[in-house]
Structure 1
Amino acid sequence: MHDLPDATDGERMTDTTTEVLPPRPEANEPRPRSLKSRPVQADRVFRSVSYAAGGVTVAIMLAVGIFLTARAGDALSVTGVSFLTTQEWSPETGAFGVAAVLFGTVTIAIIAMAISVPLAMGTALLISEIVSPKIRSLLITLVDLMAAVPSVVFGLWGVFFLQANIIPVSQWISVYFGWIPIFRVTDEAGQRLTDAGAFTSSAFIAGIVVALMVVPTQTSVMREAFSQAPLGEREGALALGSTRWGMIRAVVLPFGRGGIIGGTMLGLGRALGETIAVVMIISPIFTINPEVLKTGTNSVSALIALRYGEASQFGLSALMAAGLVLFIITLIVNFTASTIVARSRSGAESN
């Protein structure tokens, strides 16, 4: 048997085992990742400017409302609720109200919308869907230039050109559609009028002029909405055998629903407050005239423009009250439009 060597035989025994240390938590365990990013200087400036612009806009609207309310307090304290139902304007005698002018304002705006919305929608579809790119750029330029024409130019055009040429149309409508109450033209005894003098300076003529004034704005808004319709859905509809009109009806119009509503309401707000062109065309009266083809109508903005220069201190308060009513109506229209556009989910789906 051989003896096992010991440490004295010249071979040294070494210990090769190592001590395993526990891992460091910070080295192996993942740390939660922060999703917050530190905005750069440009983002902070943009956010500050945006908040400031929004705040200034709201502050101006509030200041206008407070100013009108404060200045209209004297007149409203005299008339009260009857201010909305009185068909007379005589602040000196204490009998005044906006029933007639408010009716005329709404009538002119409705006529303008009935003409401008189909015209603007057709023009927007023509520009965005039908014409070639070269003609499209020309039409866009022309529409934008039309929006820059001053109101007084439209008023002069309406007085010296449109009125003389639209009276035969008004007479024709009165003859063949006079069975509809709003298209009748009668005197105080109820007898039908046919002479041309009974059809001048009417709400119908004023509504046509205002319609042509708001068409460019409505067209621009609708065109932008229509042009954003997805190209894939357009091509898919055409690939499935749809006609061009079928593609527009199934894809473009549903996608641009919000633009249609927004453009319509924006034009309505402009039509409610139009002043110079309406003043130049209408023959002001202070009675409700439901016959839109007949001479005589009025509007709140025209009333303020015509009576402001000669009004007394109390008359100014009455005019401020009329302006407050128009301001509230405009706010209601704008907020209603914002709500409808938000609910329409423009571009979210198409049929």
Structure 2
Amino acid sequence: MSAIVDSSRDTASVADAARGSPSPQAKRVPGAAFDPIFKALLYICSGLILVLLLSIVILLFWGGWPALSHFGPSFYWSTVWNPVTEKFGAGVMIYGTLFTGFLSLLIALPMSFGIAFFLTEIAPLSIRKPVGMAIQLLAAVPSIIFGMWGVAAIIPLMANYIQPFLKLVFGHVPVVSYLFAGATSGFGMLTAAVILAFMVIPFITAMFVEILEAVPPMLKESAYGVGCTTFEVFRNVSVPYGRTALVGATMLGFGRALGETMAVTYVIGNANRISASLFSSGATIASTIANEFPDAPAGSLRNQSLMELGFVLFVISFIVLAISRMLIKSGVK
């Protein structure tokens, strides 16, 4: 009879658990009363991130709206930026931001692929760890340090050796001569792109390594089994398998390059003009804001134009990062 009673109690406990009713033992778990408080704190912390993001968007949009209303849509492609006459346009800054970003990717991608190939396919474990740690340390270097290094080391190198060499070799080639025209001062778009390339290489390389290590070993071993070399396995197996994610990682590095400020400000020359020459000075959205925002009175048309520049940079960065996350998510299974 007691066995039947115990069985019926067990059955009732199972039924209560199925209905979501806590058992008497669960009610007596120490700290269970704090679970709702802990969950509420987690919701608050997550909500603060959304509130912060939304407040930034509203601040930039609302602060720049008067300038956009004053100049109209031509603000986005106008190349005039004159605080004296209070005529402002974002064309030069948008061009400089996108141009230096794309140029930095052209420099960074081959190096990132080479480092990732070395770390995933060639380097022994005793070398892989120090090199991987060095990449992580390079990613932690502040932007202003890169700017100081650019002024002290890269600009003299560009002015005395690299720019004169490029002008001597390509300056008389009809198709590309316009890219290497002008004075070889060391400052300019090419120097800014070189600095940006060194800044984004650690991020792109780290993601490349993670993507390439996700390739199933069976695919690579099968390729080795039919006589493929290490480079052929990398080119025909590893890269095609993670192609979409690799493109997404590249876009993520591009988004990182778009928002860099101090390093670019030090070496780009900060001139409000558009030129096809890689040696010419220019400006980016971030460098213009860094240079002029402290001197722009609050509520002035100049301040409002800078706020609109910030909103444009936010939109561009958001689009690039959203595309990169979509590609990475679809490429890594």
**CA pair 258-176 structure 1, distance change in 2 beyond 3 A:** same
Q: Do residues 280 (structure 1) and 266 (structure 2) align?
A: yes
Contact in 2 for aligned 1:91/1:318 (Cα 8 Å) = no
Shift in Å, 1:124: 1.1
Q: Do residues 102 (structure 1) and 94 (structure 2) align?
A: yes
Q: Which amino acid aligns with 2:284?
A: S
**CA pair 36-84 structure 1, distance change in 2 beyond 3 A:** farther
Shift in Å, 1:116: 0.7
Matched length: 302
Q: Which amino acid aligns with 1:200?
A: G
Identity of aligned pairs, percent?
Answer: 29
Q: Secondary structure at the match of 1:198?
A: coil
Structure 2 CA distance for aligned equivalents of residues 174 and 46 of structure 1: 64
Q: Do residues 327 (structure 1) and 314 (structure 2) align?
A: yes
Shift in Å, 1:233: 1.5
Contact in 2 for aligned 1:225/1:258 (Cα 8 Å) = no
Q: Do residues 115 (structure 1) and 107 (structure 2) align?
A: yes
The one of 166, 174, 182 equivalent to 1:173 is: 166
Shift in Å, 1:303: 0.5
Q: Secondary structure at the match of 1:291?
A: coil
Contact in 1 for aligned 2:251/2:321 (Cα 8 Å) = yes
The one of 292, 295, 299 equivalent to 2:284 is: 299
Q: Which residue of 2 aligns with 1:132?
A: 124
- In proportion to residue count, which structure has more helix? 2
Q: Which residue of 1 aligns with 2:58?
A: 66
The one of 262, 274, 291 equivalent to 2:248 is: 262
**CA pair 53-182 structure 1, distance change in 2 beyond 3 A:** farther
Q: Which amino acid aligns with 2:65?
A: G
Q: Which amino acid aligns with 2:292?
A: R
Structure 1 CA distance for aligned equivalents of residues 19 and 293 of structure 2: 57
Q: Do residues 86 (structure 1) and 72 (structure 2) align?
A: no
Shift in Å, 1:45: 10
**CA pair 238-53 structure 1, distance change in 2 beyond 3 A:** farther
Structure 1 CA distance for aligned equivalents of residues 162 and 323 of structure 2: 34
Structure 2 CA distance for aligned equivalents of residues 49 and 258 of structure 1: 37
TM-score (structure 2 length as normaliser): 0.82
Shift in Å, 1:278: 0.8
Write out per-residue CA displacement over residues 163-204 of structure 1, whole angstroms, 9 at most, x where no aligned residue.
111232222222332331552314xxxxxxxxxx53421100
Q: Which residue of 2 aligns with 1:154?
A: 146
Contact in 2 for aligned 1:201/1:281 (Cα 8 Å) = yes
Structure 2 CA distance for aligned equivalents of residues 171 and 239 of structure 1: 49
Contact in 2 for aligned 1:86/1:95 (Cα 8 Å) = no
Structure 2 CA distance for aligned equivalents of residues 36 and 346 of structure 1: 39
TM-score (structure 1 length as normaliser): 0.78
The one of 294, 305, 316 equivalent to 1:318 is: 305
Shift in Å, 1:94: 3.1
Q: Which amino acid aligns with 1:221?
A: M
Structure 1 CA distance for aligned equivalents of residues 112 and 37 of structure 2: 38
Q: Which residue of 2 aligns with 1:219?
A: 205
Write out per-residue CA displacement over residues 19-44 of structure 1, whole angstroms, 9 at most, x where no aligned residue.
xxxxxxxxxxxxxxxx9999999x99
The one of 208, 215, 221 equivalent to 1:235 is: 221
Within 5 A, what are the aligned runs for 1:172-211?
172-178=165-171, 179=174, 180=176, 182-186=178-182, 197-211=183-197
Aligned-CA RMSD value: 2.8
Shift in Å, 1:236: 1.4
Q: Secondary structure at the match of 1:284?
A: coil
